[in-house]
Amino acid sequence: MNIDKTSTPTDVVVNPEAEKHGAVTAVDPRLLVREQGFAGYLVEFKRKLHSGDLGSIPVVIGLIIIAIVFQSLNSNFLSAQNLSNIAVAMVATGMMAVGIIFVLLLGEIDLSVGSVSGVSGAIVAVLTVTHGMNEWLAVIIALASGAAIGALHGFFFARIGAPAFAVTLAGLLFWLGFMLQLLGDQGTINLDSDGVVGKLTTYYFSDVAAAYGLAAVAVAGFFFSAFFDARRREAAGVPSRPLVDIVVRTILLAVVAFAAAVMFNEYKGLPLALVLFLVVLVVTDFVLRRTTYGRKIFALGGSVEASRRAGINVTAVRISVFSIAGTFAAVGGLFWASKIAAANQSAGAGDLLMNVIAAAVIGGTSLFGGRGRTWNALLGVMVIVSIQYGLALEGIATPIQYMITGGVLLATVVIDSVTRKTQKTAGRA
């Protein structure tokens, strides 16, 4: 049987019948589904359950449980206004989580993203309000600063050899001090709520066609991408998804997308913040899964030495990944500044760093490297912000919110650890 060279290790399963007789035969799950139909789905699900590879299923189930519990406690939880507010509130943390996912795929960590996000907001505020600079130019400088800060951290880690934990911990403290220095004694600089940054979280596409149009584009894009990918794989003689599988997945996506469109149109309309977040997720997912650069990142997360022997420039990739994390930290900082229409000394502090890391891990990205997708940021941040808003509706105190979020993160890390052990036992890690 031909093996697709672009497949990841999770694309290959063991033939159950061959395993009974002591033989191990590689079978692509797409081929299994094509040959056995619905029974193939059951075989694949049982295989994933046995090997501890359930992907995003636990997170989706968790979101459903969260919705049911909080809706039963307060009928306003699933209201259009509350869900729309959740969608906007999760973007700042979600953007930063996207950058963290790139770092986690290497098996490393970046503790500086909270402080870097604060620096980003402070730069824009100082340049535009204090010095009267054009806001677009100030935004570009803030994003470039985030990228440069991340690259600097990456240089000390990849070139000098200092541990990423220590380097970024130092960065957390240094850039926090730098932000406070920028803001000065006053500590807070208000931003124009009608400016570029101000509208990031306050602008809504009120025309109902916007939400429905985005839903239609998303569904059509998914279908044609999956369809032509299947045709390409079939032409290459490797396993591909049957058309009925693609249609079913497209229908499920359509139900979710158009339900969300209806919900947004019942309130203010489609939030600009969510549109930008979704665009970022699509682009970064393409980079990780469809480009040589993305495959290098996964390779480094699997084995640094093997990647080096394969000719990968380990230092360059590592520096670039930390630069990406710094860039998205800066992006998240702009959204946080937009949310409060100001840059202040509390920016990037509190539980922000933990929420960013938790969003990535809860969404399904492994702390041990080599496994994850940027879409994990969306699922993880939805869990965190949904819990926060649900508890807030019930008037639960902030300390309890911290403890519950910490408990969810601990449970996720435990599941991730158990999953890795199960996969090793199954011979898949």
Tens-place pLDDT, residues 331-382: 999 999 999 888 888 887 778 888 899 899 888 888 777 788 898 899 999 9
How far apart, in whole angstroms, are the C-alpha atoms of residue 30 and residue 37? Answer: 10
Question: Using CB atoms within 10 A of its CB, is residue 396 exposed (0-12), middle (13-18) or buried (19+)?
Answer: middle
Q: Indicate the pLDDT class of residue 252, thresholds 50, 70 and 90.
A: very high
- Dump pLDDT digits (tens) for 58-109: 788 888 999 999 999 999 999 999 999 999 999 999 999 999 999 999 999 9
Q: Are strands 26-27 and 13-14 parallel, antiparallel or unpaired?
A: antiparallel
Q: Is the pLDDT of residue 314 over 70?
A: yes
Q: Is the pLDDT of residue 407 over 70?
A: yes
Instruction: List the single range of 145-159, 259-273, 372-386 with lowest mean pLDDT.
Output: 372-386
List Cα–Cα distances, 164 to 32, 107, 347, in angstroms.
Answer: 42, 10, 23
Higher-scoring residue by pLDDT: 12, 360: 360
Can you give the pTM of this predicted structure?
A: 0.85
Q: Is the pLDDT of residue 422 over 70?
A: no
Q: Is the pLDDT of residue 17 over 50?
A: no
- Give the pLDDT confidence score for residue 6 in this predicted structure: 42
